[in-house]
Each structure stands twice: as C-alpha cells, then as structure tokens.
Structure 1
Amino acid sequence: MNLDALPLSRKQVLSIAGSSHARVTIWSGAVRSGKTIASLVAFLIQVAQAPPSGLVLICGRTLQTIERNILEPLQDPALFGPVADLVHHTRGAPTASILGRTVHLIGASDARAEGRLRGLTACLALLDEGTLVPEAFFNQLLARLSVPGAKCLITTNPDGPGHWLRKNFILRAAELGIANFHFTLDDNPALDPEYVAAIKAEYVGLFYRRFVLGEWCMAEGAIYDMWDADKHVIDIVPPIWKWIAVGIDYGTTNPFHGLLVGMDASQTLYVASEYRYDSKLHRRSLTDAEYSAEFGKWLGGYRSPGDAVGPVGVRPEAVVVDPSAASFMQQLWRDGWAPTPASNAVADGIRTLSTLLAAGKLKVHRSCKALVDEFPSYSWDATKAQQGLDAPIKVDDHGLDALRYAVHTTEGTWRRPNAVDPLQWRPRGTDSGIDFNTVAM
C-alpha cells in the first residue's frame, strides 16, 4: 500500500491497530476526516488474516454506494499502490475478489434486506455508513459473524443522539468490548487546508456540527435558520445562462406546487417563478391532464419580471416530479415532456439547500410568495428527533419540497466546476422560448 502518498494520522494508525483486537470496530465522525481510509487499511489487513471458513462481506445502503465508497478507493493505485491490482470487481456484480478472497456485496436499503443475511456464516464484514442501514439488518449481521475470531468494521457519519447505533452500541462500547474511534475534519492530515476551510464555510448549523465537528446532535428548531428574506429574496432575476429544472410537488387535496430554477454566469441558482394550485381554495381538484395543460401554459408564458422585450417561454433541462406522482408523470410524457422522478433523500436535499443559502448561491424572486412564506416556519419534528430520525414537520412544505426536488436531483448538472465562463456567453431564446444556450459574444 502506498501509504507514504497519503500519510496517516496518529488517530488513524491507532484505530487500525485497535481494530485487530476487537470483534467490532466503529469509525464515526466528520466527512472526509480519514475514517474511511483507516477502515479500508484495516479491512485489507483483516482480509489477509481472515479464517478460511466463513464468508467475507461488504455491506452498505446500496450496491452503488458500496462500489463508490469502498471498491473504487480500494482500486486506486494512488492510495493502495500494487494492492489495488488485487481488487477486482465488475460493476453491478454481487461479488468482488480482494487479495484472492471472494467478497460478497450486500445492499441494505430497507427492512427486507435482513433476509439476505439469513443462513450465512461470516468471518469478516465491512459495513459502510452504519446509520443508514436498518437496525434489524445490523443485528442480523452481528449474529452471522459466528466464526471464531470474526470481526465487523463499521464506518458512519453521526446522526441524531437517539439513533440506535449510538444508544445501543457506541455508548455501550466499553461494556460490549467495541473499539470506537471518533474523528473530526481536522483529523485528516491529507486534506488541503484550503479544502478544509471551504468545507467549514459550506456547512452550517446542524450539518456543521455533524459533518465538521462529528457530533451526534439533535435536529431541532428551524431547518433553514440561515434564511434571510432581505438577503435571499430578490426583485430582479439576472440573465439566466441555463434553465436547470422545474421542480413539482404534486397534490390533489394538497396544493400542487411548481418552481422554475435557473442558473446565471456566477453559478448562482434563482427560483424565478412559481405555479401553485390549491384545490381547497378553489373548491375543485384538477385532473392530471388539466395540471399538465396548466403546467405548459405556465412555462410557455414565462418572461423574466421587468423584461418587456425578452423571449417568452422556457423549457428547462429537467422536469423533476414528486416520485409518488406516477400517473401525472405518464400524462407529462403523453404531452411531450420528459419527467424525471425526484430524489427523495430528504436530509441530503435539505443539506444541499442549506449549503447554497449559507453561501448566498440560492435566490428567490419576490413573486414566489408561497415559497417565501414557507421558509421561516419550516422546522424539524422534535418527536421524530427523539427517535433518532431527522424529519421535517409535514406542514406548509409543498414549495420547499418542490425546490428540494429541483435542486438536489440536478446537483450533478449545476455543481460541475467551471461550468460557466461568464466572459463567453449571453442568453439566447427562440421565439417559442424553448431553447436557451450559450453563444460567444
């Protein structure tokens, strides 16, 4: 392993050594704090020393996260040198070969995953992001490690203080003989100081405490406590370089809320317009066909506020829809749109929006009145927080859900570095308003 290229901290070295003496080792703490690299080094050592009987497992929320978080780093020669050549995996396959040993890859995205472990006997398991797997799966995993000398290595970011992993295992580490190592962002010596400073600036509130300081802290109070109407609400939408998406929170008895999101040359996102229909106020529900027609009229008639001569109408790159609205998505397909089911990872989406708001990279036009009204009162559910769950109170959140759908689902589009050269573009639209591209000045 090319450990000289990635120097290990004293805490990483101690955790690797400690894992060889404990049945269960937990690395918890901040993002990019060095806990994953330490766990991978420990895992390679344990694979080489594992008993010949029993299976070797790598578990995580999905096969894709296992490939991204575990297998791809193990195959990186810049990190592990010649050892990387001894890690073989075909993308999508349920097994890998590591140091000549067959390793079984098991995703655990829901309660049914526990059944995938029944009947097997394991001698070694690496669990990625332990707080994200069901408790029943975790308990079953420990039960399957019945070979003498079997070991379980676990990495995780912190969650709420009531989470079962913290209450039942981390707080009882001494009693259960668990080796527990806590990391903060400053514990990783391989990180560039400018990157560390950038991470500390990006995360705010709850997410700063968890993902920078590595604290197990409760989600409480206002979710978007960085929201400032004087700072984030604008009267003029600047020239838009790219119309990123429309986000739609579908409702029949609840409000139907659509938001149009674009990006300017500075890579700031703007919520330029909203469409909202509340059947309770209108005393009439609309059909999917009627909603689709209204949706088309709304986008077809959009013109930037205060711009009397600019093109009318937009057609954004993505139409991101509430994933539960299957029939409405079918109607959009029939009407010539290409809808995308939204990512409904609530906490991740909230973190994305919080980061943008804190950095001043998300603005909302004043005409989006319903969305503006929702921001100040959007709060964490204290009852669910006591159960170790991060969840917002589901009241007056339709616009915020639509915004989260649009922004978080398309993150790979708007977060690309150097996506815009502000000196080499000007917005252009056809008469129908369906084509906005960049052209040289």
Structure 2
Amino acid sequence: MSSKEISLQDTVGKGYADFWRYEGRYRVVKGGRGSKKSVTTALWIVYNMMKMPLSNTLVLRKTFNAHKDSTFTQLKWAANRLKVSHLWHFKKSPLEAIYKPTGQMILFRGLDDPMSITSITVENGYLCWAWFEEAYQLMNEDDFDKVDMSIRGELPEGYFKQLTLSFNPWNEKHWLKKRFFDVPNDNVMAITTNYRCNEFLGDDDRALFEWMKKHKPKRHKVEGDGDWGIAEGAVYEDWREEDFDYRAIAKMKGYKAVFGLDFGYTNDPSALVCALVNKEEKKLYIFDEHYEHGMKNDDIAAMIKRKEYAKERIIADSSEPKSIDEIRGHGIGRIRAADKGPDSVKAGIQFIQQFEIIVHKFNCPNIAIELSGYVWDQNKAGKFLNRPVDDFNHTLDALRYAMEQIRKPDAISFD
C-alpha cells in the first residue's frame, strides 16, 4: 500500500502533548465543550492501534445506542483526518471498526448490557485500551470498576493497559472527582481542558462561549472553562437511578403516565420527559427522555411518533403556542399548553419535592445530569434564595409541565 506523510501536530493540534504520551493506567480528562478532548482521544486510538499491531480497544458509553452518533462517528472522522480511512472498515452491524491489515478491532459496548462487557474477547492480539466517553453519566462507581477489572492480563513488552475517561464536570460531588482528581496517584493523569486550546474553532463558535459567559455563567463554568459545577443547594435531593421495568410499573395500581415538553432551538435543547406517577404513594418513575438541539416542530412531532407517544397527553411550554399548534397539526392531537399561572415554577417544584424520584439508569442520562446541577440561586452574601437558577432545567421544566396533570388536573382539558 502507498504511504502518505502528514504532520501529527498540525493534524491533532496543540494542548494535549502530555495526554498523548501518557502510558499510565488511568487517563482522565474533564473539559468544556469544544475542548478537543473527544476528538483527540479518537485520533490517539486510531493512530496508536496502527502503530501497535497487537492492540485492541473497547469504547464504552452508558447506553449502547449512544455510540452511533458519537464515538463511532468520531473514530471514523479520526481515520479520515489521519488520511487512513482506506485501511479501516467501519461496520454498523455489528457496530465495530476493523483495521484491515491486521484484523485489530475497536469494539463498542454499553453498560446497559453488562454481559457483553464481562465476556468480551478479541481474535487478534490483546484488549489493551478502553475509552469511557461521557463518563459523567456513570453515576455508580461500581459500573466503572466492573469494566476496569476486565482490562487485565499480561501484555508483550512495549504494550500497556490504559483506561481513558472524558467528560463534562457537571457536579463536584461526582465520584470521578474524589477518585481521580482529589487523591494523588502515580498511575493517574487527571487534566482539565477547555475551548481555548482548540485552534480549530471558528469565530462564531467562540462568540457562543462569550454569550454563555454573559448570560449563563454557571453553565459557562462547566461547558466553557471545564471547571466542576456547583453542588451546593440542590433543588431536588430525594432522587436516585435504577434499572426498572416501566411496563411492569405502569400495570401497578395507582400509577398514571405523564408527558411534558420544553421547547428549545439553538442555544437550548428541546426536552421531552416521560414519567409514571403514583400520587398516593408519592413515587415518581422517570422512564424516558429526549434531549436535542436544533429541533424544528416537525422534527419534534416525528420524534414523538417514533417513540410511539403520539396518542399520549403531552403538556408543553405555554410560551410557544404557535409551536404547539404546529405540532398538533403534525398529528400529535393531545398536546396542550401548560397552565403556568403565578408562581408556577415555585409551586411545581414544591409539588415534585414531595415525591421520591427514581430515574431510569440507562434511558435518562440528561435528567440525571440536570438533577445534579439544578440548584437554588444565591445572593451576593451567599444566602440561598427561594428561586432556582435558571439553568440546568430543560428536562426539569418539562417534568413540571408533565406533573401539572397530577398537581391540578382540573386546570387541564383534553376535550
């Protein structure tokens, strides 16, 4: 095969030299959006697998379905960026990438199927490396430990085992901080990056960060600077993640399905939340979500149909009546505007706080993130106020709308 020469520094860019060379067990990078942490990891994997012909890589996310539009696409992009795409075969069924000259493999797995991880083997060489993308979504440290233990065994001289974790640091109480950032460990590289080290961003990208810094400083602290988010003053404290069968719960006496929709577009995502509520037992099971930027109203309607919720009662943000009418015109006939009223945010929060909240462990990662980051506002003296910060709240606003059917059912008509 013909060879091509490229400049690795020009291809990868600056800011990650130590990250690129590190060979210890744990390589942990927290950072904001646009910090190159994910694309640099993808470039490293493709480059080093070609350099080390006995190496194989396991790529993990909390749910398997999230790979297709994230890590799989990023690794395919990396092969193109390195001008070696002709040497790789990226298969969608099963989802895997194969280096043609040697048969080395990049395997994709989700923690929603633990057996596919614990029993993993490779045909050629050794399983050397693992990459946890969006590692913050792993709320349970035991889930990480199970994979950590699967990367084991003696390797040939010159090879090394390594787990890379990349994530946005939404909450400083997350186990990732205590384990990798707070305790010195010679076998850990823990670094923070942000968009300022990304020379490939355009002026329009940088302008978005400036807008965020001015209008949403708490979010900029995480998504811009890559710093840990604020954990003090959580609005919702009685919540946890579980892997439950929502169909079985739906059949139980006293449970009612509720659905809420919050609109977004460029700077904010549109968010759909689906839950099962037992008002008497004060239990709230959140079993599904959708969270996406740039959705037009026909996209939202198509998503609702795809999820088979088109016939359900969906309560949407009343500030966009035109959007509600358009979505209804696309066949979502039971969508209605929320009856917000005075102090609706405060009243909605107080009502939901009465419930034990159980979030589906694999279906609802964005709700878990927002529950972790949704806090009460503070005055200049640091005293908490009786209003939440208007951020980390897209799924939680949708949840408030959904819960109106329970909180004041007489105020909503579906005739």
Instruction: State whether TM-score is above 0.5.
Output: yes
**Residue matched to 2:143:** 137
CA distances 1:281-329 after superposition (whole Å, capped 9, x unpaired): xxxxxxxxxxxxxxxxxxxxxxxxxxxxxxxxxxx946959x9xxxxx7
In structure 2, what is the Cα distance between the partners aligned to 1:269 and 1:170?
Answer: 30
Structure 1 distance, partners of 2:224, 2:83, is 32
Q: Number of aligned residue pairs: give it.
A: 300
Q: Who is 1:210 aligned against?
A: 222
Q: Which has a greater percent of strand?
A: 2
Deviation digits for residues 79-110 of structure 1, max 9, x if unmatched? 51422233322224143213644425343344
Q: Which residue in 1 is equivalent to 2:179? A: 168
Matched, 1:58 2:70: no
Contact 2:64/2:111, CA 8 A, preserved across alignment: no
Distance 1:130 1:268, change over 3 A: closer
Q: How do residues 34-49 of structure 1 correspond to structure 2 at under 5 angstroms?
A: 34-49=36-51
Distance in 1 separating the partners of 2:399 and 2:131: 34
Please point out which of 199, 208, 219 is paired with 1:189.
199
How far apart, in 2, do the equivalents of 1:59 and 1:141 lie? 9
Match of 1:39, SS state, is: helix
Which residue of 115, 122, 140 maps to 2:127? Answer: 122
1:156 equivalenced with 2:160 (yes/no): no
- Tell me how far 1:37 sits from its aligned partner: 1.9
Deviation (angstroms), 1:221: 4.5
Give the Å deviation of 1:153. 2.1
CA contact (8 A) 1:30 1:157 kept: yes
Give the gaps of 5 or more residues in structure 2.
Answer: 236-252, 271-277, 281-299, 325-335, 358-367, 376-394, 404-415
Give the 3 Å change call, closer, same or farther, for CA 190–367 of structure 1 in structure 2: closer
* Contact 1:66 1:105 survives alignment (8 Å): no
User: 1: CA distance between counterparts of 2:402 and 2:206?
Assistant: 26
For 2:220, the aligned partner's letter is: Y
Gaps of 5+ in 1: 224-251, 271-277, 281-315, 324-328, 343-352, 406-441
Residues 114 and 2 of structure 1: is their aligned pair in 2 closer, same or farther, counting only changes over 3 Å? farther
SS of residue paired to 1:175:
coil
Corresponding position: 1:390 with 2:361:
no
Question: SS of the counterpart of 2:83?
Answer: helix
Shift in Å, 1:3:
6.0
Amino acid at match of 1:401: L
Q: Give the SS at the match of 2:30.
A: strand
Task: Give 1:124's aligned amino acid.
Answer: W
Q: 1:82 to 1:207 in 2, by over 3 A?
A: same
Over the residues paired in the alignment, what is the CA RMSD in angstroms? 5.3
2:267 & 2:229 partners in 1: Cα distance? Answer: 32
Q: Deviations over 1:214-272 (max 9, x none)?
A: 1112345487xxxxxxxxxxxxxxxxxxxxxxxxxxxx9699877788899x99999xx
Distance 1:168 1:258 in 2: 37
Deviates more, 1:1-10 or 1:140-149: 1-10
SS, match of residue 48 in structure 1: helix
- Provide the rounded CA distance (Å) in 2 between the counterparts of 1:193 and 1:391: 29
Q: Identity rate of aligned residues, in percent?
A: 14
> Does the 8 Å contact 1:11/1:187 carry over to 2?
yes
Secondary structure of residue in 2 paired with 1:15: helix
- Asked if structure 2 preserves the Cα contact closer than 8 Å seen for 1:206 and 1:219, the reply is no
Q: Deviations over 1:323-350 (max 9, x none)?
A: 9xxxxx7xx8xxxx545999xxxxxxxx
Aligned equivalent of 1:368: 339
Q: Could you tell me the TM-score, scaled by structure 2's length?
A: 0.55
| Partner SS, residue 68 of structure 2 | helix
Alignment partners' CA distance in 1, 2:206 and 2:163: 30
Displacement, 1:123? 1.6
Tell me the secondary structure at the aligned position of residue 169 of structure 1: helix
Inter-partner Cα distance in structure 1 for 2:269 and 2:105: 43
**1:222–1:378 CA contact under 8 A, matched in 2:** no
Return the letter of the residue paired with 1:39: T
Counterpart in 2 of 1:401?
399
Letter in 1 for 2:74: P
TM-score of the aligned structures, taking structure 1 as reference length = 0.52
Note if contact 2:57-2:127 (Cα within 8 Å) is conserved in structure 1: yes
**2:88 equivalent in structure 1:** 87
**Cα distance between partner residues in 1 of 2:269 and 2:118:** 44
Residues 1:263 and 1:143: Cα distance change in structure 2 (over 3 Å): closer
Per-residue deviation at 1:183?
0.7
Q: In the alignment, which residue of structure 2 is the partner of 1:326?
A: none
Q: Is the 8 A contact 2:136 2:167 kept in 1?
A: yes
Change beyond 3 A, Cα 1:401–1:46: same
Secondary structure class of the residue paired with 2:17: helix
SS at match of 1:122: strand
Question: 1:160 deviation in Å?
Answer: 1.2
Q: Describe the shift of the 1:58–1:269 C-alpha distance in structure 2 as closer, same or farther (beyond 3 A).
A: closer
Once the two structures are TM-superposed, the CA of residue 34 in structure 1 deviates from its matched residue by 0.9
Q: How far 1:163 sits from its partner (Å)?
A: 1.0
